[in-house]
Structure 1
Amino acid sequence: MSATKTSLPKSEAISKGYNFASTWEQSAPLTEQQLAAIGALSHAVAEPPFPANLAPEHISGHDTGLYISMKHSTVEETGAIETVLINTNQFYNWFMDLEAAMKSEAEEKYQCYVNTLTDRIQKCDGILHQVDETLDLFNDQQLEHQAVATKTKSVHDACDRRLLEKQRLIEFAESLRSKLNYFDELENVATSFYSPYMTLANGNFLPLLKRLDECISYFESNPQYAESSVYLVKFRQFQSRALGIICSHVLSVLKSTSSQVQAAIQSNNGSKAAVSEGLETSVIYVRFKVAASELKPVLEEIESRSSRKEYVQILAECHKLYCEQRLSLVRGIVHQRISEFAKKESLPSLTRSGCAYLMQVCQHEHQLFDHFFPSSSKDISSLAPLIDPLCTNLYDTLRPRLIHETNLDTLCELVDILKVEVLGEQLSRRSESLAGLPPTLDRILADVHERLTFRARTHICDEITNYVPFDDDLDYPTKLERSAEMKSESTATDQSPDIFKTWYRPLEKTLSCLSKLDRCLEPPVFTGLAQEAVEVCSLSIQKASKLIVKKSSPMDGQLFLIKHLLILREQIAPFDIEFSVTHKELDFSHLLEHLRRILRGQASLFGWSSSTSLARTLSPRVLESQMDAKKDLEKSLKSTCEEFIMSVTKLVVDPMLSFVTKVTAVKVALSLGSQNQKLESVMAKPLKDQAFATPDKVRELVQKVSAAVQQELPSVMEKMKLYLQNPSTRTILFKPIKTNIVEAHIQVQSRLKSEYTPEEMQSINMVSIQDLQDKLDNML
């Protein structure tokens, strides 16, 4: 087979072409329209037709070789490649050549693109080279500009530093000048103070005083400056001189005003002691208000600087001068007015009038003081040198009369006046202007409390503990009967009788004393007095009860004691106090035995160990004993009620109680047995055959008890109504009596049912328990 072979592109060129195409594809991606066109073209050439020389009709079955004829545009523009393929190897060689030609044909257009791009890249490289040269020139110019800017900035910074340095120097000079001004001010101050025209009336005085304070404050806060201590001493000397001028001026104005007031008083009345109330207000206070207006600028200046100790001292000195001048004018007037009250009024009226007058004076003085010292008038201690002596006049007038006052009612009234009216009501409404008065009033009230406590103890001792009863005091039950008659008569005339007349006098005095002291004394003091009063009152009532037993009857004494103890317990219940008191006392009794042992030589004075030291051995023992007057009262009342119940029970059913006791003794003797055969034979007899228990004896004791129930018990109930007016109290007291009576009847009936025949019980004729209970209930 002969064929014309055309040289085909090598595989290395194909690879480069593909690489270039791939790079180009990434660098210059196609649009969607272009990609669609390429896809359509690829689909069209996917299955190329057979070449004409390979058509089936051109292949002869008799030939042993393969003939292929095709045209290739890359080999010859107008010719075709005709090849005769004899065997398979030739076919593969031909196919490889064909494939290389096709690849070369496909890469040809890309190669054209590569050449174009290469030319353009070379052109761009030339342009970039020119740009780099231009940038180098620009960078050089920029560096030159930056160097110029740096030099310019350094010049500007140097100028700014010079300006700042100049400003600092100016400020330093001004600061130095301001500091030196304080040093230079000494000469100005000295010139002003040594001037003969420098007085408080001079308009430059107060500004100069202010400048002095500023200089002193400056040197105090800057001790590090040279000679600051020397200048500080000199400025303080001038300040002391200025404050002395102020103090002299204030004293001069106050003395002048006082002289004018005294002259006005003498010209109108002839004597200072006879000043009328109208003149007192118009002269003593009005003229001082004029003086306050004159001193107001300088005093306000002093008060505004009260944070400095120098001005605190001068302000205190001005307060003192003011109080001294006011006291010299007002003390005699106040003393005269209180003395007039004391001559014509009782002690309570004197207290009330004196307090009212002092409150008026204190209020006026506080208002006047506020005109002089508006900023410091709230400090009550500033007016103390004036108010305290004025209030002392009332205290000195009241105290001698308080010491000699013995009436408890008067002392209690004084406590009400001072504690309720004055301190509680009037001072609370005007507390600020009357702030200086409470200390004196508290002092007077303390004296009244002390005197009241002393008189209360004396009253308890004289009128309760040592009370000697009269015959009329122990006239029971006659006194109660007369009161009952008066009560029935007063019911008809609508007049209530005095229930306290039926009380034992110490009880009445005790309750009256406690009711007065309750609102007047402090709780701890009142508690001690109440405990003592209740204790001695209870003992006094018990003593009176024993006397009534001797004079009237035991039952009268018991009911008298029950009545008054109940009243005492009821009346002390509203007092919210603790009646328990703990008494402490020192016990030295154990020391006697120690001294005896030491004297006998059995113990040494220095032989005690550290655990039993001498001080511990010789120290007294503290014994505590607690006394509760209320509990003692309850105990006495309970025991008295029990005695009364047992006495009434015995009065009514004593025969039955004796009968039950004997029957019980017989039963006990029979149960225990006896060695005495004769006694045993006697005891062995039936109960109704015993001498004390025969039906006749039993009938007799039942009749006695029935008579006592009919006769004695109603009289007891009448006497209980006479002593105990409260029905509930009588019911409570009668209930155990009724229980005892019924129980005695029940026990006797139980013995009769077990030991006696029905005929014998009928002959005894004992009342039924139900009838007995109904009869006892009706007695109430």
Structure 2
Amino acid sequence: MGRSRRDSLVRDIASHPATAETQSIVGLLDDSYLFDKLKTLSLAVENSEDLQTVSDSGSQIDDNESEPVSSVNGSKTDKYSYYNAYLDQLNTKIDEYKVVLDQTRQVNDQLNGSIERFHKIAQDTGVFIDETKTIHEKQSKLSHLSESIPRTLHYFEALDPIMRRLNHATSPAIVKKGSFTSMLATIDESLHFLDENSQFKDAAAYRIKFKQCLIRACELVSHFLQNLLKQTNQEILDKTKNKNSLSGLPSSTRDAFLYSKFSTIAETFKSQASEIVKRVNDKAYYRYHDELNSILHECFNHYFQTRLKLLTPVIWTHIDDIIVKDKDLDLVKFIQDGKAYFQQLCTDEYKLFVEFFPEKECRFKINQWFLQLCEPLYDSIRIRVLKETDISTLCDSVTLFAPYYEFEEGSEEYLRQFTDIQYDKLFEPIVHKVQARLILRVQIYVQQNILSYKPSRDVFMISNRRKNPKANSNDGDKRTTNAKNGSDPLLDSYLSSLKTRNILSISDDDADEKYINSEETTDRITQLQTYYPPLLKTLALLSKIYEMINSVVFDDMAHHIVHDCIISLRKAYDMVIRSSAGKSDINNLDVSLAYLKNLLMLRDSIQNFNIQYTVNETYLDFSGVEGFFKSLKENGRNVLKKTNSSTILTLARELVPKVVNNMVDARTELISELRNVIKDFTEKTSLELIDDTLDISNGEDLSSRNLKLRENIKARLPRIYEQILNYIDDQDIVVNLLDAVQELITQSYSKYYENISEMAENGELGKDQIADVMYLDVFADFFAKEVAEILKNDGTNTQTR
């Protein structure tokens, strides 16, 4: 059986002919015969020749190789000696490698055993570490506990010596010692510790005791500060007892006692007061805030009382001097002098106060005390304000405090303005009192000069007639005489301010133009004096109190003032209309135009005040009570006899006053009044122009009446236009009035034309009469042309002038 070449050297060489391994057997390939055989085998393998042939050849070769070769000269033995030697070396190496491999397996087994032992050691080590870690933690905890016990006991053990020291403290001067400050620090530490560690046994009881020690220590500080103030105050009084009081001393000496002498104790006082202030503002002491704050208030109150006792005589002496000096002067000067003195006084007191107390934490308290310090000023001004009746003076008094109320409270500008002293709060009682008095005087002024005004019958007939300067001149003289007899300072001031504003608005570019404008300004003031007097007083009053009082209060007052002015105007208008009944329509037109002129003046003027017109009014309605007494007066006891038990409750409900909430809008009222007077004017003007030309019942010929209508429009419309111009300066309003008149007359003519057309169709009128009447479109065009011609002529005349 032939040997397989699967693992033979020949097969290996044949399959890898070009590898580097062939270089290691160079000596073997020196045999040319063997080399040729191997090359043949290699080619046979590469060319995929018949495997059996190769196998046979290999077997033959093997057989030949296995046969003993003997030769006389030994050439055959030498031929395979290298090969045999190589095989022997291979076998030897194989045996050696087997030995090495066995040894490697033994080493590997030993390593695996070592790894298993090391793994077991690691497990044992982990268990050991866990056990030692637990022990270490217990040891650390116990060590920390042993170290903290003395420190913790220190917070508890400090209680007894502190309580003994505080209980045996006989003098408040103990607070000056350094040990007292250390004791306060120890109390703070203990309280903080007990607040953070409430789990300790009896921690709550110890905390309460330490709190008592804290309160007791702060009380000792407070008593020390009070004694310090009393001692200083007594020293000042002892030095001035021979001179009655500080008020009799010269100002320099008085200031030395009031401030320089007092400042000598400021450093000591502030160092102790800061201890209380610090604990009052400590958030950790929120539980004890009430007790600590009470102690601090005692310090504040004693300080303020001491200062007030020293300052009161000086303050009243100065106020008496102001009263004597300003006895004959007005309220404004009195308030101004008092304000300047107390402003300086508060500034000096603030500077002194911040030397005694921490400024940031305590400035709010000094601002509260300033209200008490300024009570003499409030009382003296209150008396003068109650005697003041002049509205202008009251307004000027409010203006003195305007700089303090420019910014909204809490804004950045406000905080920058009132960093130290809050002057707005300081003078607020004075402003409120003056404003209250101003409101009262305004109400009285409205009642006396607007509601109670008694107009004459010609109040609207004295008009601004541009073509009658003599009438204007005489009217101005009359008003000048009336002003001298009983002038209204408020109205005079208003007219003067209007004149000043007009003069200041004149351009300086042209002197002639300035002169003309000056004449126009004077003429404008003269024109203003032709308005309804209560109207001018209303505008003067509104312009004076504008921004003098709270905006909400002003809106409410302005609403009522405008409402009362409208009522006064309406009463005067109704009275003049009744008195002019039966007179010419021209006079009635003058009255309506004058009324319209005043309403327009009111509307245009109040737009500058930014008034919120709508006001909610709440009042009691006693109409039920009034009706009951009226019926009782008329029917006597019969009313009571007829009432039974079922109607008693109904009667009782009717007698109960009702609360009425009414929303009133003065602006709506003014607009409604304007619409009414415009409607009244257009109706009167239409009647003036139409006359009886559209009266169908009249037997006159239609064409002649139509001609008369055109003549009336041509003749009377320019006169009415001039009449309107005498009262209305606004050209737009004039045009609107003419348009309203045109629309109303056109509507009337339209109805007239429809009626006559219908009568002609029914045979009541002849169609030849209708033919001579203008069509509606023709009439509307005719009226529009007349209006346009009037406006064109007036524009040309205006440019010529």
**TM-score normalised by L of structure 1:** 0.68
Query: 3-state SS of the aligned residue for 1:563?
Result: helix
Q: Relative to 1, partners in 2 of residues 1:139 and 1:369: Cα closer, same or farther, differing over 3 Å? A: same
* Aligned counterpart, 1:205: 180
CA contact (8 A) 1:562 1:637 kept: yes
One-letter amino acid of the counterpart of residue 545, structure 1: Y
**Structure 1 residue 505, shift from structure 2 partner:** 0.9
Aligned to 2:797: none
Asked if 1:755 is matched to 2:737, the reply is: no
CA separation of 1:481 and 1:337: change in aligned 2, threshold 3 A: same
Q: Which moved more, 1:454-463 or 1:223-232?
A: 223-232
Partner of 1:459: 445
Cα distance, 1:443–1:759 mapped onto 2, change above 3 Å: closer
User: How many angstroms does 1:167 deviate by?
Assistant: 7.7
Q: Partner letter of residue 34 of structure 1?
A: T
Q: What is the alpha-carbon distance in structure 2 between the residues aligned to residue 99 and residue 350 of structure 1?
A: 147
- Output the amino acid matched with 1:390: L
Say whether residues 1:628 and 2:677 are aligned partners: no
> Are 1:31 and 2:19 an aligned pair?
yes
Q: Who wins on radius of gyration, i.e. which is larger?
A: 1
Q: Which amino acid aligns with 1:412?
A: C
Alignment of 1:105-254 (within 5 A): 105=64, 116-126=89-99, 171-186=144-159, 188-189=161-162, 194=168, 199-222=174-197, 225=200, 235-236=210-211, 238-254=213-229
Counterparts in 2 of 1:266 and 1:725: CA distance versus 1, 3 Å: farther
**2:299 alignment partner in structure 1:** 318
Q: Answer whether contact 1:392 1:440 (CA < 8 A) is retained.
A: no
Partner of 1:567: 601
Q: Is the 8 A contact 2:319 2:377 kept in 1?
A: yes
Q: Does the Cα contact within 8 Å between 1:582 and 1:626 map onto a contact in 2?
A: yes
The 1:254/1:753 distance shift into structure 2, 3 A limit, reads farther
Per the alignment, do residues 715 and 120 of structure 1 end up closer, same or farther by CA in structure 2, a change over 3 Å counting? closer
C-alpha contact (below 8 Å) 1:378/1:432 kept by paired residues: no
Distance of 2:594 and 2:400 partners within structure 1: 39
Q: Distance in 1 between matches of 2:211 and 2:278?
A: 19
Q: In the alignment, is residue 556 of structure 1 matched against residue 590 of structure 2?
A: yes
Partner Cα distance (1:151, 1:716) in 2:
126
Q: 2: CA distance between counterparts of 1:264 and 1:427?
A: 43
Of 433, 456, 459, 2:420 maps to 433
Match of 1:693 in 2: 701
Partner SS state of residue 522, structure 2:
coil
- The code of the aligned residue for 1:18 comes to R
CA distance in 2, matches of 1:760, 1:167: 126
Distance across 1 between alignment mates of 2:440 and 2:348: 38
Tell me if structure 1 keeps the 8 A contact 2:621–2:657.
Answer: yes
Q: Quick one: structure 1 residues 115 and 208, their matched pair in 2 at CA, closer, same or farther if it must change by over 3 Å?
A: same
Q: Which residue of structure 1 lines up, in the alignment, with residue 507 of structure 2?
A: none
The residue that corresponds to 2:396 in the other structure is 413
Match of 1:403 in 2: 386
The amino acid that maps onto 1:634 is I
CA–CA distance in structure 2, aligned partners of residues 98 and 43 of structure 1: 13
Matched to 1:496, the amino acid is: T
Please tell me whether the aligned partners of residues 416 and 520 of structure 1 are also in contact (alpha carbons under 8 angstroms): yes
**Candidates 434, 453, 467, aligned match of 1:448:** 434
2:256 corresponds in structure 1 to: 282
Q: Secondary structure at the match of 1:444?
A: helix
Q: Is the Cα contact below 8 Å between 2:462 and 2:530 reproduced in 1?
A: no
Deviation at 1:662, TM superposition (A): 4.8
Superposed displacement of residue 545, structure 1 = 2.8
- Which whole-Å CA distance do the structure 2 matches of 1:760 and 1:150 have between them? 132
Question: Offset at 1:511?
Answer: 1.4
Q: Tell me how far 1:465 sits from its aligned partner.
A: 1.6
- Hey, what's the Cα distance between the residues in 2 that align with 1:127 and 1:758? 151
Deviations for 1:473-509, whole angstroms, at most 9, x for unmatched residues?
4552499855644899997994714333211111111
Deviation, 1:207, is: 1.8
Residue from 723, 727, 733 that aligns with 2:727? 723
In 2, distance between residues paired with 1:161 and 1:760? 127
**Does the 8 A contact of 1:721 with 1:730 survive in 2?**
yes
Contact 2:451 2:564 in 1 (8 A): yes
Structure 1: how far apart are the matches of 2:682 and 2:122?
Answer: 130
Distance in 2, matches of 1:139 and 1:47, equals 50
Query: Which of 358, 361, 367 pairs up with 2:345?
Result: 361
Structure 1 stretches lacking a partner, 5+ long: 1-9, 49-92, 606-615, 664-690
| Alpha-carbon offset, residue 159 of structure 1 | 12
The answer to whether the aligner puts 1:302 opposite 2:276 as a matched pair is: yes
User: Are positions 1:496 and 2:500 aligned together?
Assistant: no
Partner letter of residue 327 of structure 1?
Answer: L
**Normalised TM-score (structure 2):** 0.67
Question: Cα gap change, 1:153/1:400 in structure 2, threshold over 3 Å: closer, same or farther?
Answer: closer
Matching of residue 641 in structure 1 with residue 629 in structure 2: no
1:317 deviation in Å?
A: 2.9
Contact kept, 8 Å, 1:341 with 1:353, in 2: the verdict is yes
Amino acid at match of 1:261: I
SS of aligned partner of 2:182: helix
Alpha-carbon separation, structure 1, partners of 2:190 and 2:517 = 97
1:760 and 1:468, CA in 2 relative to 1: closer, same or farther beyond 3 A?
closer
Provide the aligned length of Structure 1 versus Structure 2.
672
Q: Deviations over 1:567-612 (max 9, x none)?
A: 122212223234344556788999999x99x98799999xxxxxxx
How far apart, CA to CA, are the structure 2 residues paired with 1:604 and 1:373?
A: 71
Overall identity of the aligned pairs, in %: 22
Distance 1:233 1:532, change over 3 A: closer
Letter in 2 for 1:454: L
Q: 1:285–1:102: structure 2 CA closer, same or farther, 3 Å change rule?
A: same
Q: Which amino acid aligns with 1:366?
A: Y
1:1-52 CA distance string (max 9 Å, x none): xxxxxxxxx33xx03x53355997799998347399899865557899xxxx
Residue 506 (1) aligns with residue 534 (2): yes
| Letter matched to residue 424 of structure 1 | E
Deviations 1:85-121, CA, capped at 9 Å, x for gaps: xxxxxxxx99998763235457998998666444333
Kindly tell me: are residues 721 and 293 of structure 1, through their superposed partners in 2, closer, same or farther at Cα, counting changes over 3 Å? same
Secondary structure class of the residue paired with 1:102:
helix
Aligned amino acid, residue 299 of structure 2: C
Matched, 1:100 2:74: no
Letter of the 1:358 partner, please give it.
F
Whether the 8 Å CA contact 1:587–1:622 is kept in 2: the answer is yes
Paired AA for residue 522 in structure 2: S
Query: Residue type matched to 2:420 in 1?
Result: S
Q: Which amino acid aligns with 1:346?
A: D
User: Is 1:355–1:422's contact at 8 Å kept on the other side of the alignment?
Assistant: no
Q: Is the CA contact 1:565–1:637 (under 8 Å) kept in the aligned structure 2?
A: yes
SS in 1 for 2:374: helix
Which residue type is aligned with residue 366 of structure 2?
Answer: L
